[in-house]
Amino acid sequence: MTTRLKEFLTLGTIIVFLGVGIVLVCSPFIRDYGIESQIARAQTTFSENNLQSLTLDEPPVDFVIERPRLMDVLRQTINSDEPPVVGAISIPDVDVLLPIMDGLTNEHLLAGAATLTTKQEMGSSNYVLFGHHLTNSSLLFGPLLHVQPEMKIFITDKQAIYEFIITETNVISERDTQFLISTDEPALTLFTCDTSQPTTNRFMVRATLDSTYIYENESEKAIQFVQ
């Protein structure tokens, strides 16, 4: 093997390792950018369309929420299907503003908050939403860990705006299902991981319905959903 060929192979190896290193270093930023893009696309769908619940399959009983991987995010980012947006959630005190996706799937969790089951009815019984807690704690449901009792949460389907008051926050086991069951009075229950690292615990927020408004008649309250 000639000296020139050895130098070429050595240079090529160095370039490959540098490329792999750059990808590894940049992958969290690329992933976050992809998630931000999906949130923005879903928010546009919310802003520009009349919403209606879609006909989707129920998630399987043993459905497992997976941590978002770069390739999954990139694959979903180039997906041209319109996201199944059925509403939006706003928690002004912690700067949460997210689309609500119809049904709990790993794809839906990349674009906003996802309902436990499809066709959940806002303002009735226990409305359950899940969201990711990522290393970038400003994305998705990361800010949820800063909420406190008495703070307000607003959700809307563009027909009505439902104003909830937080009554409880707690860290519970992922196996604790008592907060998933139906309630006699309207309630809102939010779940996210208690840390951005792999965990078997969930941070839970429970809120009770305080007021209901007609969306078109409440411009001041509605504007927060389209900012």
Q: Is 132 a catalytic residue?
A: yes
Furthest-apart CA atoms within the chain: distance in Å: 81
Active-site pick, 26, 133, 146, 193: 193
> Long-range contact list for 114-123, CB < 8 A, 24+ apart?
115/86, 116/180, 117/58, 117/59, 118/53, 118/54, 118/55, 118/56, 118/57, 118/58, 119/53, 122/87, 122/155, 122/156, 122/157, 122/160, 122/162, 123/160, 123/162, 123/186, 123/209, 123/212
Q: Is 193 a catalytic residue?
A: yes
Torsion of CA 136, 142, 148, 150, to 10 degrees: 130
User: d(Cα 225, Cα 45) in Å, to the nearest integer?
Assistant: 12
225 with 156: CB under 8 angstroms? yes
Active-site pick, 108, 132, 133, 146: 132
Backbone angles phi, psi at 106, to 5 degrees: -65, -30
Q: Are strands 201-214 and 85-91 parallel, antiparallel or unpaired?
A: unpaired
Q: Which residues are known catalytic residues? A: 132, 193
